[in-house]
Amino acid sequence: MGAGTMRHSLQMVFLSVLALLSAEHVLVAGGATAEGAGAEPASLPGAKDTILMRVVEVSGLHESPFLITRIDDVENGVIFAAKKTERISLANVIANTATNNTRQTFSAIAGLTIWESDAAGLQLGIGARGLNPNRTSNFTTRQNGYDISADPLGYPESYYTPPLQALERIDIVRGAGALRYGTQFGGVVNFIMREPPRQHPLNAEVMLTGGSFGFASGLVRIGGTSGSTSYSVMGQYRRADGWRPNSEFDQRLGYAFVRHVVSPNLRITADVTTMSYLAHQAGGLTDRQFALDPGSSSRARNWFNVDWTLGSVTADWFVDSTTSLRSMFFVNSSSRAALGNLDRINIIDLGGERTMIDGLFRNIGNETTVQQDRTILGRRVSLLAGVRLFRGVTTQRQGTASAGSGPEFQFSGRGTRDGSDFTFPNTNVAAFAEAVISLSENLRVVPGIRAEHISTRATGRYGLSVRDLAGNLIADTLINETRQRDRTILLAGIGMSYKTGPMELYANLTQNYRSITFSDLRIINPNLLVDADIADERGATADVGVRGTIGDLLSLDVSLFYLSYRDKIGEVLRSDQAPLYLPYRFRTNVGDAYTTGIEAMTEVSLTRLVGYEADEPVPDVHLMINGSVVRGRYSVPRDPSINGNVIEYVPDVVLRTGLIVRYGSFRSSLLLSHTGRQFTDATNAEFSASAVSGALAAYSVADLTMTYTISPVVIELTCNNLLDTRYATRRAEAYPGPGLIPAEPRSIFLGMRLTL
């Protein structure tokens, strides 16, 4: 044992004894940390009472070699016990993070369906269990614990994706997360940024990547700790020409973080994020165009522009050895603008005025939680209660814009008179409470409840124009409209966890709710019409599973789930009136529905399996297998054309398997992904002329990544879509389509990371 190892071991023993004797909050400068907020109580031999250890942060802990690691039962003001949870540790992921490659990064998460709308992960699109992946709108998306979507309830679309190169981990909580994070059926995806090193006052990191189709990325990160203050500043630039014509983009991102330890019991954290990008959108394709040449483009005048600004301030107060309080304030001041031709993709773009949809988002909110660890009637109990206050104002305008071909984001001609101009104020007040009750050393029960009030308004006007077959305006009306929907929802849930050895049995049942969005209140799109009487969704999620880790040998999580919907919102295929009978999607409450299935993930060290130990000089080879088998059906007896149909975006099989090799300075990952056939609307249409509806064929993709470290430099080589598979993951009724959106062919990237 070296002197450094001996010193770390003695330090950890000293900290453990000190925590048990004083039960105080201890901060230790170090590198990798493990936060024990909400750690289980530790009993002193012979003691009459239990002494609770609030937060201990230590360095030198054993790091898990697995892609997915377990989340503590209670951590940072959140109860995770008895829920279906997954934590992706980015340090263990061997992937092309410069391009935000979702397929590789989320490879160990069972059952995810992924939309690949662009070649650089500008917008994250993931779904699960029959939930639409569109901009991850069926999950609550957060960064460092606070909202990052446009409006979590009224417009829950994620136009900003945190840079994977800068992340420490990604935490995913499935449907039972609704009690703490909000009412979404999918749960939450929380991106946690890397914190600055605590043992150095100044540390720098540079990442450079270049690759196919003119892709270039650069990231610079500077940070450190001086006294009681930690800080970090990061800047990133990415651009590419794109593999299809008219698909170039340019992105800039900045991030700043500071934390000050005011006292052993109080710390203040603040961060701010700015991101902007301009993307040329190649549009969709018809099925025929895709079969002939998936790299073609029939839209040259479509553009998309995003400016995103986020900020937060968090106070953590460790009141005493049993009580802690976290209060987080957050703001979002952002915009996005889409410009182009939204006509059906089978209609040639002959020029003329384009359609522009312009959105402004101004949100402010606070979440405050109180956690208390107690012994009640001899049982250990962790209580957590909190409130959420949110106020958002979204302004959305749609109308005619420039007839040119460039990114001129200005209304022109008749402007919004040919479209709409609406303001959507949204107020959300919620109170929630959960508890972890230890009935025995191994058995825990987790009840919870959430009360939520939502007030959604729409105030504005829209134009109603009638033209003859020659395009002449024969009637023109401007209609003022005001709508308001107020509702109060009460959700309840209960979970159970039983630990035996290294394995854990868990189960939960939670009610879910999803409100209609602003787009459901007012949108003008020739490919999509919305039911004027569309209503909110209600339902419930149930999980039963077993998970655990056996040393460095095996990681396992196998679960059954059942998700029920009442008045599920979906899309059915309709046709225009005579004489054209052109097809379009109609968005409405299709009816009741359910999805059920099995999700399984296992990762095994083949090296340990054949008997080699961790300190032996042999490659550490891991086999990862993850898959889901899902059945999703509509139950609409009143409509025989829908009753019994497959729910859209439910492939019957999703399978991902990978071989991961670590040997000294060398690491590699070979990943194979297969997604089964799926429908894109509740009608289960096989084909439509406009390509906005129709089946998506099954596809399989392979990715290879290799890294080699020559300290302080890490070299990375990636080949995405190794076998050059031609496939499509989505059909879009609007941007970035409309039509069938082809995924990127084989592409190669070379990267370098330098740490100083």
pLDDT at 692 over 70: yes
Predicted confidence at residue 25, as pLDDT, reads: 34
3-state secondary structure 692-735: CCECECCEEEEEEEEEEEECCEEEEEEEECCCCCCCEEEEECCC
pTM of the model: 0.89
Of the listed ranges 84-98, 111-125, 271-285, 296-310, the one predicted with least confidence: 111-125
pLDDT at 89 over 70: yes
Predicted confidence at residue 449, as pLDDT, reads: 97
The per-residue DSSP string of 12-37 comes to HHHHHHHHHHH---B----SS-EE-T
Region 38-55: what's the mean pLDDT? 38
Q: Which amino acid is at 586?
A: F
pLDDT at 667 over 60: yes
Per-residue pLDDT band at 577 (split at 50, 70, 90)? low
Instruction: List pLDDT tens digits, range 210-223.
Output: 999 999 999 999 99
Cis peptide preceding 425, ω within 30 of 0:
no
Cβ-contact 147, 365 below 8 angstroms: yes
Structure tokens at 153: 């309830």
Q: Where are the domains of the chain?
A: 3-62, 85-755
Instruction: List pLDDT tens digits, range 523-546.
Output: 666 666 777 788 888 999 999 999
Region 680-698: what's the mean pLDDT? 91
Instruction: List pLDDT tens digits, range 296-337.
Output: 999 999 999 999 999 999 999 999 989 999 999 999 999 999
pLDDT at 578 over 60: no
638 vs 670: which has the higher pLDDT: 670
Of the listed ranges 70-84, 319-333, 706-720, the one predicted with least confidence: 70-84
Cβ-contact 184, 140 below 8 angstroms: yes
Nearest to 222 by CA among 208, 236, 205: 205
The mean pLDDT value of the chain amounts to: 88
CA distance 541 to 508: 8
257 vs 56: which has the higher pLDDT: 257
Nearest to 189 by CA among 169, 175, 170: 170
CA distance 410 to 404: 11
Region 189-210: what's the mean pLDDT? 95
Domain 85-755 class in CATH: mainly beta
CA distance 176 to 186: 9
Q: Is 599 helix (H, G, I), strand (E, B) or coil?
A: strand
Instruction: List pLDDT tens digits, range 218-237.
Output: 999 999 999 999 999 999 99
Instruction: List pLDDT tens digits, range 365-381.
Output: 999 999 999 988 888 99
Q: Write out the E strands in 282-378.
A: 302-318, 323-340, 354-376
pLDDT at 50 over 70: no
CA dihedral angle for residue 31, residue 716, residue 120, residue 394, rounded to 10 degrees: 10
Predicted confidence at residue 621, as pLDDT, reads: 96
